[in-house]
Amino acid sequence: MKRKSSIRLGVNIDHVATLRQVRGGTTSYPSVYQMVLKSIKGGAEQITIHLREDRRHIQLHDLQLLAKKCPVDLNLEMAATPEMVKIANKYKPEWVCLVPEKRAELTTEGGLNVIKGFRKMAPMIEKLQMRGIEISLFIAPDLEQVEASYKIGADAVEFHTGHWVLYKGLKKEKEWKRMIVAANRAHELGMRVHAGHGLDYSHAKLIKKLPHLREVNIGHALICYGLENGLEAAVKKMTTIIRG
């Protein structure tokens, strides 16, 4: 696995595909692959894509291309379904991040319920790991979910930071303390600590203080910053913040 910094930046390029697909997939621009290369030039050490069941942005041909040509680790976010496990087994990204998925949601609304889905997900995770794919689970910073993630055999947990980003005042402080406790426990159990969702420049400065943090995955903010300054420059700035 390619790793250069203490906290590595994964760039989620889903919303490049969102712009491409907004006209029903009739355009080939913007190029997902070219934006991947710009992200890497800016300092990204991982590329993250979410192949949703409704294919609203990333398409199967994007995964096919990146599985062959992505110069850094590829992290495939996906629902825990037989169809997606079959696809992941075929294209073998370095990482699979299992996430909850609702067709009507605008974006991922919360963390995966590992406890509830334990019996269904356990054989899926085992099958993927037998292919040499490392597994992260996108969860709320909840101790019970951390424990369940360990028992199911996850290599990492990725904490959903979206609620923390939006919270204010005491509520935000409480959520931060909750993340610290969860991160410490995940580390004690031998799992990598990852984080993502809703992170912008200001919250990136804060999240890097989370104990044992090894990786952040950031998409929407970077694509938006990229519209103003270019994606390479936006990623370079985020990389400087994360590593600084």
Q: Cα separation of 50 and 218, whole Å?
A: 12
Neighbours of 95 (CB within 10 A): 26
Interval 36-55 mean pLDDT: 97
Q: Is the pLDDT of residue 48 over 90?
A: yes
Q: Cα separation of 110 and 176, whole Å?
A: 16
Question: Of these residues, 15, 45, 50, 101, which one is catalytic?
Answer: 50
Question: Of these residues, 15, 45, 57, 77, which one is catalytic?
Answer: 77
Active site residue 197: yes
Across the chain, what does the average pLDDT equal?
94
pLDDT tens-place string over residues 214-237: 999 999 999 999 999 999 999 999
Percent of the chain with pLDDT over 90: 91
Question: Of these residues, 15, 197, 203, 215, which one is catalytic?
Answer: 197
Q: Which two three-digit tokens encode residue 87?
A: 């696809």
Active site residue 94: no
Q: Are 40 and 72 in contact (CB under 8 A)?
A: yes
Per-residue pLDDT, 101: 83
Interval 200-206 mean pLDDT: 98
What is the band of 103 on the pLDDT scale with cuts at 50, 70, 90?
A: low
pLDDT tens-place string over residues 163-197: 999 999 999 999 999 999 999 999 999 999 999 99
pTM: 0.94
Q: Is the pLDDT of residue 6 over 90?
A: no
Q: Are 153 and 124 in contact (CB under 8 A)?
A: no
Q: Cα separation of 108 and 228, whole Å?
A: 25
Per-residue pLDDT, 3: 41
Beta partners for residue 158, in sequence order = 138, 194
Q: So where are the chain's domains? A: 8-243
Half-sphere exposure of residue 85: CA atoms within 13 angstroms, side-chain side: 16
Q: Cα separation of 94 and 136, whole Å?
A: 11
Per-residue pLDDT, 153: 98
Active site residue 212: no
Beta partners for residue 97, in sequence order = 77, 136
pLDDT tens-place string over residues 108-140: 567 999 999 999 999 999 999 999 999 999 999
* CATH code, 8-243: 3.20.20.70
Any alpha helices (H) in 94-200, and if so which ranges?
A: 118-130, 143-152, 162-166, 169-188
Per-residue pLDDT, 107: 54
Per-residue pLDDT, 24: 86
